[in-house]
Structure 1
Amino acid sequence: MESTILKTLARTANIRRWLRRPECPEAVRQLKVLFDKSFVPANATSETREFVERKGARRAYAKYDGVTFSGVATHAGNASIIYRPTVNGASVAGQIQRMEDVKTTNGFIVRLHVRPYQRLSKSLYDPFRRYPHFQATTYSSLLEDTVHQIGLDDIVAHAARFDYSHGRSVFVNLSRE
């Protein structure tokens, strides 16, 4: 690992030195200008020498109540949740599409963009309904087109999801209570 780090630092220094030389091709210099405009280092300072935060609004994951949640692109297993889309509404199963930090007057809050799973039609049998103490519910394996924006406190529990037959998935509530 140490040799990899050392090689990377040496290569980076060589590229920087080469880009600063007068014989560097003009096309490469123009690419460097575009690159520098697009990717500002995280510790860059402004002209006034004040630190400028360059962190974006998107998040890869969020921890809440001892549980790690993430968007489906980051970790599909941590993206399945049981949540309440409205304050006093019934809980539904959903998949976190993405997360973002939203600035408020009191700081930042995490906003989740969640697509709910489609409910099963009444004609399909839910074998887990007979076992009320086993917190499992069957949903369609398909997501709805709507996206709910919720906060971390709207999550009821993390969920385990298993596709078992005919476009149906079982969701098991992983609540620690």
Structure 2
Amino acid sequence: MVYLPIALVNLWGASTLHSSPELAARLQTVLDHTMELVSAVHIACAQTMTARRAQSYCSYILSIYTTTFSYLAPAHSWWCFPFERLIGILQRLPINHKFGEFENTMLCSYIKTTMFCRWLARLDCPPAVQECRDIFDGVYAPKSSQNSSQEFAEDPMNDTIRVPDCAMTSAVPDDLYTLLRRRTAILRATLKFDSVIYSRASTHLGNSQILYYPRGDRTLTPVPASIKYIYGTLTGELVFAAQRHLLLDPHYNTINPFSFYPDFPAKMYLTGLESRLENVKVTWVVSHFA
């Protein structure tokens, strides 16, 4: 859903060259039709629904769906993907091709397991049973592949990244000094938060590309940037020092082919970066980008 429309826009969109005007017109028609479908799916899967989005969806598909989305709200509240996923899990269970009592056995086992877990969570659960629970958790609970205190700094409880106790300070580069106004700081190459790995550009370029809300204001449009440094503040929080990507220069008549499809969330920027560094907290980041 992401790669196909981006590829088609770059191959068939505005300012692309083709062997004949007829072929260019035909490909543009196919592209417009495809992008209408993609935009409709994007609107249907949005986390929020507005009157403008409902009207756009109406223009892409059918007018009857405007009333449907007005009453049902975002598709996340009523779609069936979780149930389809559960069905897939059940279908992969080994049953040795024996049917009949399988469904009843599975249902009873699920109920017994749920009741047993609920009993273990009660305050009046016997200490001996709780001790057995701790043993089983230690044996079967999933473990991280690496020690987070050594490789990453992560604190998912309060969504703040803390500097590890064993971290050492380093000399601050000149461009970072203009932002920090101090000569030493804790510098990191990578950082993991919410199961997402972020890196400085010199370590891994792909993991350094981020979309974030400027100053953490979620009413603003996210902007793309590249992480140049990951450093620790005086309060012990790890923060990004990032450079924004430059906007397309209208003086060079550069056409953004995605501007013709306002309901498809893609936009072109230059590969060049601003010279100015700015602080970006991890919780301001929306996602990586390409």
TM (norm. structure 2) is 0.34
Unaligned segments of structure 1, at least 5 residues = 1-51, 161-177
SS in 2 for 1:100: strand
**Higher CA-based Rg:** 2
SS in 1 for 2:239: strand
Structure (1 or 2) with the greater strand fraction? 1
- The corresponding residue for 2:223 is 92
CA distance in 1, matches of 2:193, 2:248: 30
**Paired letter, 2:232:** D
**Paired letter, 1:112:** F
CA distance in 1, matches of 2:167, 2:242: 26
Q: Residues 81 and 95 of structure 1 are in contact (CA less than 8 Å); yes or no, is this contact kept in structure 2?
A: yes
Structure 2 residue aligned with 1:81, among 210, 226, 244?
210
- The corresponding residue for 1:116 is 244
- Structure 1 position 133, deviation (Å): 4.9
- Structure 1 position 132, deviation (Å): 4.2
Percent same amino acid among aligned pairs? 27
* 1:144 maps to 2:274: yes
**Paired letter, 2:210:** I
Structure 1 residue aligned with 2:260, among 119, 130, 143?
130
* Change over 3 Å in CA distance of 1:60–1:130 after alignment to 2: same
**Paired letter, 1:95:** S
CA distance in 2, matches of 1:63, 1:152: 10
**Paired letter, 1:81:** I
Alignment length (residue pairs): 106
Q: Residues 85 and 148 of structure 1 are in contact (CA less than 8 Å); yes or no, is this contact kept in structure 2?
A: no
TM (norm. structure 1) is 0.54
CA distance in 2, matches of 1:133, 1:78: 27
Q: Residues 61 and 68 of structure 1 are in contact (CA less than 8 Å); yes or no, is this contact kept in structure 2?
A: yes
Q: Residues 96 and 114 of structure 1 are in contact (CA less than 8 Å); yes or no, is this contact kept in structure 2?
A: yes
- Structure 1 position 55, deviation (Å): 2.1
TM-align CA RMSD: 2.0
**Paired letter, 2:189:** A
SS in 1 for 2:283: helix
CA distance in 2, matches of 1:54, 1:76: 23
SS in 2 for 1:86: helix
Q: Residues 63 and 69 of structure 1 are in contact (CA less than 8 Å); yes or no, is this contact kept in structure 2?
A: yes
**CA offsets per residue over residues 99-145 of structure 1, 9 Å max, x none?**
012242xxx21110000011112342111223345432100121111
SS in 1 for 2:268: strand
Alignment of 1:1-177 (within 5 A): 53=166, 55-56=168-169, 57-88=186-217, 89-104=220-235, 108-122=236-250, 123-160=253-290
Unaligned segments of structure 2, at least 5 residues = 1-164, 170-185
